[in-house]
């Protein structure tokens, strides 16, 4: 290769430029909507393609696969799934305030079930989409740009008649930024738009007399009305929304709590999550008011029924649902859209202003195009009227001419050379004709029946209409007030035909106050077997089954039902678990795996000690690691409420071998993998903080490590078996910490 063709550049600069180009492409051309029509490129291209294919609201449905394939081939060179998903969302009335596509078939549901494959579903445009988004595209109202391979033209933006960004909202994740705009009521948005047009200095507070707040298709109740002004002023904030709950009387004096509307963020899989959360409240004994829960939702709407006990405090239970489940949720608002080719966070007034400015631009282009057509029509009409007055002369010119060009030259320029006239007067009159090029063509193309009296009258009437249109169009283009009135009239027509009542209630809701019923404190016994299954039983049950309980379980200890238990593992982690989260019941119940109620992972860790947190406060703990690091830690350091904390610091590659509560132990015996035993007094182990590594317990060989740790009391002999040989630990030679120990010969 010729060296002159090699461009040397800094790698980091290439990466930086490439990433910025990629980021801007995602921001501008994929993830964020345009403030003018409120559509992302994939939505705009899909709607335009349906318009081009003629899949109108008043024509038969067409297969979604046809629409997706055509859009992908002509305008959107990305995956078919992204196009189909955009199409699906535009059909879903539970996601969009005003659906733009009319879907036929399974397009998913509010509970999160996906749409059928595109080969099974059919779609066509909604009437409002045809009239308010795609009308007048033939009147040069927006710019058309080349598609990806420059074989087609596509609109840079659709001439949307309404502030669709507010009406339908939008959600999208770009690179380094995201948009989240709630849907609003069409009537209210149109009223606010008209109010802005009448007074461009209107404030956000005044606009909110019209737009009360978001209007979610799922209904619900917005409960932070006072915070909405700042959200709509800045374009960012959090909207708190609750589901609608009704109380119904059931058989036997019971009460049913019926959820008829859900918060917008609960759409999809979060409905089943809500049901499981409510069931978990009963399972974990957070409430004993629930008798049954059922999801009776259908095409008619949401209906989740929670059956309560007779003596249940319904108001308190409702507040518990708001606090403990997603029946009360937040919708994060970030009104980010593309304005003038760049991403911008806008308040409601800025969005309406951008849309109104766009409307004036669209109307100006529309009426300029219409005016040009009417002026052209006027020119031809005036030529035909003039021709009717001298029709005998024109017929004479036609009969005396050799070809069309000769006639045309006479009509336009008065040239009479070569034309045979009946009289000199006719020739003189012909020389005075001054038709325009277009008028001459129209005369030559005119049919004889146009000379009938009624046809001439119709032509005169048509000319009057043309003159009226020209006057009207000139007035609209010359006077901003006239154009504003045209825009407002169109908005009124859309409001009248497509407006619907508000679904979401906006109010200042009271904070949900839930009083947890205090559990009567009592002592229970915690039982954990060697497989990590844990449960609690009351003390009398334990006493009756003491022998079996001690034999079948690895850890058995008393604790308070209001307290916590601590689990120490070989990775140096401490996991705390609320005793109230553990199943309490019969002795023969299996219990629950520790994994289910903590962050402990049975696949990656081993439990070395389980104990009551309140007991640990009374004692100290001894830690010993594989690399022979020892320390004593005050149990009070583990009086934490976090679910997971580091119980000790470990060197790289080290792990904890033993954790014990220090009670009557007098000597510690470290046993290594190569058979070295070292016994020394427990007092030699210094007390450290839990964040310390500790001190060395014994000197290890290059490939040796501590395998087991034993503790002895002076008065009691302890014998262990090591590789088939019995070792009396108390008779081992006493040494000092950090010694090498003695090797047991096999």
Please state whether 35 falls in left (phi above 0), alpha (psi between -120 and 50) or beta. alpha
- Considering the domain architecture, whether residues 646 and 551 belong to the same structural domain is answered as yes
Q: Is 549 a domain residue?
A: yes
- Considering the domain architecture, whether residues 599 and 716 belong to the same structural domain is answered as yes
- The helix (run of H) or strand (run of E) holding residue 67 is helix 64-74
Q: Is 512 a domain residue?
A: no
Count of the separate structural domains present in the chain: 4
Distance separating alpha carbons of residues 243 and 281, to the nearest angstrom = 18
Q: What is the CATH number of the domain that holds 78?
A: 3.90.199.10
- Considering the domain architecture, whether residues 461 and 537 belong to the same structural domain is answered as no
Range of the domain at 469: 363-497
Identify whether the C-beta of residue 408 lies closer than 8 Å to the C-beta of residue 431.
no
Distance separating alpha carbons of residues 568 and 659, to the nearest angstrom = 7
Q: CA-CA distances (angstroms) from residue 610 to 550, 639, 692?
A: 14, 14, 21
Q: CA-CA distances (angstroms) from residue 321 to 275, 328, 632, 668?
A: 11, 8, 45, 53
- Arithmetic mean of pLDDT, 240-260: 89
Q: Is 235 a domain residue?
A: no
Does residue 196 carry a catalytic annotation? no
Q: What is the CATH number of the domain that holds 487?
A: 1.10.268.10
Q: What is the CATH number of the domain that holds 304?
A: 3.30.1360.40
Burial bucket for residue 351 (CB in 10 Å: 0-12, 13-18, 19+): buried
**Residue 138: what pLDDT?**
92
- Listed range (18-27, 48-57, 376-385, 545-554) with the worst mean pLDDT: 18-27
User: At 621, phi and psi to the nearest 5?
Assistant: -115, 145
Identify whether the C-beta of residue 730 lies closer than 8 Å to the C-beta of residue 668.
no
Identify whether the C-beta of residue 439 lies closer than 8 Å to the C-beta of residue 380.
yes
**Residue 344: what pLDDT?**
93
**Residue 3: what pLDDT?**
55
- Arithmetic mean of pLDDT, 719-736: 88
Identify whether the C-beta of residue 435 lies closer than 8 Å to the C-beta of residue 386.
yes
Residues in a beta bridge with 515: none
Distance separating alpha carbons of residues 635 and 647, to the nearest angstrom = 11
Q: How confident is the model at residue 519 (pLDDT cuts 50, 70, 90)?
A: low
Nearest one of 440, 435, 415, 437 to 427, comparing CA atoms: 415
Q: CA angle at residue 602 from 597 to 608, to 5 degrees?
A: 90
Sheet holding 62-63, edge to edge: 62-63, 122-125, 101-104
Q: Is 201 a domain residue?
A: no
Q: What's the CA dihedral at 484, 490, 491, 492 to 10 degrees?
A: 110
Last residue of a domain, one of 481, 497, 513: 497
Percent of the chain predicted with pLDDT > 70: 98
Out of 22, 48, 84, 120, the active site residue is 120
- Considering the domain architecture, whether residues 618 and 709 belong to the same structural domain is answered as yes
- Listed range (263-267, 282-286, 405-409, 467-471) with the worst mean pLDDT: 282-286
- Considering the domain architecture, whether residues 541 and 670 belong to the same structural domain is answered as yes
Nearest one of 97, 73, 92 to 83, comparing CA atoms: 73
**Range among 347-356, 380-389, 505-514 rated most confident:** 347-356
Last residue of a domain, one of 102, 123, 155: 155
Q: Is 338 a domain residue?
A: no
pLDDT in tens, 36-61: 999 999 999 999 999 999 999 999 99
Q: What is the CATH number of the domain that holds 604?
A: 2.120.10.90
Supply 177's token pair: 């930024």
Distance separating alpha carbons of residues 716 and 164, to the nearest angstrom = 84
- Considering the domain architecture, whether residues 382 and 312 belong to the same structural domain is answered as no
Last residue of a domain, one of 135, 155, 175: 155
Q: What is the CA radius of gyration of the chain?
A: 42
């Amino acid at each position: 290769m010729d060296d002159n063709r090699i461009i040397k550049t800094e790698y980091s600069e290439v990466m930086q430029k490439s990433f910025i180009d990629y980021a801007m492409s995602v921001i501008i051309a994929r993830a964020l909507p345009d403030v003018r029509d409120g559509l992302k490129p994939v939505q705009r291209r899909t709607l335009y393609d349906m318009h081009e294919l003629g899949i109108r609201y008043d024509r038969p449905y067409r297969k979604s696969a046809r629409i997706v394939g055509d859009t992908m081939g002509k305008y959107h060179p990305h995956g078919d799934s992204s196009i189909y998903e955009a199409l699906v969302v535009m059909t879903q009335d539970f996601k969009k305030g005003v659906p733009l596509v009319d879907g036929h078939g399974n397009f998913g549901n509010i509970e999160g079930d996906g749409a059928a494959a595109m080969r099974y579903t059919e779609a066509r445009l909604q009437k409002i989409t045809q009239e308010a988004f795609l009308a007048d595209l033939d009147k040069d109202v927006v710019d058309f740009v080349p598609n990806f391979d420059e074989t087609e033209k596509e609109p840079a933006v659709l001439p949307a008649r309404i502030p669709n960004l507010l009406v339908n909202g939008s959600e999208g994740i770009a690179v380094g930024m995201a948009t989240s705009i709630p849907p609003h009521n069409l009537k209210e948005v149109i009223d606010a738009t008209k109010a802005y047009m009448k007074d461009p200095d209107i404030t956000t507070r005044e606009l909110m007399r019209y737009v009360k707040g978001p209007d979610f298709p799922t209904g619900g109740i917005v409960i932070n009305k006072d915070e909405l002004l700042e959200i709509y002023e800045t374009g960012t904030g959090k909207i708190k929304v609750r589901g609608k709950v009704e109380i119904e009387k059931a058989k036997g004096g019971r009460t049913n709590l019926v959820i008829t509307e859900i918060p917008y963020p609960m759409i999809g899989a979060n409905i089943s999550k809500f049901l499981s959360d409510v069931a978990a409240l009963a399972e974990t004994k957070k409430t004993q008011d629930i008798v049954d829960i059922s999801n009776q939702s259908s095409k008619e709407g949401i209906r989740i029924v929670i059956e309560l006990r007779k003596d249940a405090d319904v108001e308190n239970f409702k507040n518990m649902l708001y606090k403990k489940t997603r029946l009360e949720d937040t919708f994060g608002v970030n009104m980010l859209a593309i304005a003038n080719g760049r991403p911008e966070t806008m308040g409601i007034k800025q969005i309406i202003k951008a849309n109104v400015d766009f409307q004036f631009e669209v109307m100006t282009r529309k009426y300029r195009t219409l005016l040009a057509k009417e002026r052209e029509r006027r020119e031809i009409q005036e030529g035909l009227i003039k021709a009717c007055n001298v029709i005998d002369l024109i017929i004479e010119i036609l009969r005396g001419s050799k070809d069309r060009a000769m006639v045309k030259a006479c009509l336009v320029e008065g040239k009479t050379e070569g034309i045979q006239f009946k009289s000199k007067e006719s020739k003189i009159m012909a020389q005075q004709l001054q038709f325009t090029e277009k008028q001459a063509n129209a005369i030559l193309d005119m049919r004889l029946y146009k000379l009938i009296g009624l046809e001439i009258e119709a032509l005169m009437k048509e000319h009057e209409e043309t003159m009226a249109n020209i006057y009207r169009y000139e007035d609209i283009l010359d006077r901003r007030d006239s154009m504003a009135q045209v825009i407002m009239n169109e908005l009124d027509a859309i409001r009248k035909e497509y407006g619907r009542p508000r679904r979401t209630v906006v109010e200042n809701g009271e904070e949900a106050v839930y009083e947890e019923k205090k559990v009567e404190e009592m002592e229970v016994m915690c039982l954990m077997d060697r497989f990590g299954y844990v449960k609690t039983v009351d003390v009398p049950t334990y006493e009756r089954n003491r022998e079996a309980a001690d034999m079948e379980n690895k850890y058995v200890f008393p604790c308070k039902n209001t307290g916590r238990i601590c689990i120490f593992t070989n990775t140096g982690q401490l996991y705390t678990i609320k005793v109230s989260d553990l199943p309490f019941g019969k002795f023969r119940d299996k219990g629950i795996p520790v994994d289910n109620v903590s962050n402990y992972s049975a696949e990656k860790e081993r439990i070395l000690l389980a104990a009551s947190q309140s007991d640990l406060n009374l004692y100290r703990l001894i830690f010993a690691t594989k690399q022979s690091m020892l320390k004593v830690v005050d149990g009070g350091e583990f009086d934490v409420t976090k679910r997971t904390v580091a119980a000790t610091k470990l060197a790289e590659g080290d792990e904890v071998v033993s954790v014990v509560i220090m009670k009557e132990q007098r000597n510690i015996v470290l046993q290594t993998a190569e058979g070295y035993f070292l016994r020394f007094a427990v007092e030699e182990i210094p007390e450290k903080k839990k964040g310390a590594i500790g001190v060395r317990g014994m000197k290890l060989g290059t490939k040796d490590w501590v395998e087991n740790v034993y503790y002895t009391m002076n008065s009691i002999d302890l014998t262990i078996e090591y590789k088939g040989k019995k070792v009396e630990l108390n008779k081992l030679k006493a040494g000092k910490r950090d010694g090498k120990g003695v090797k047991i010969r096999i």
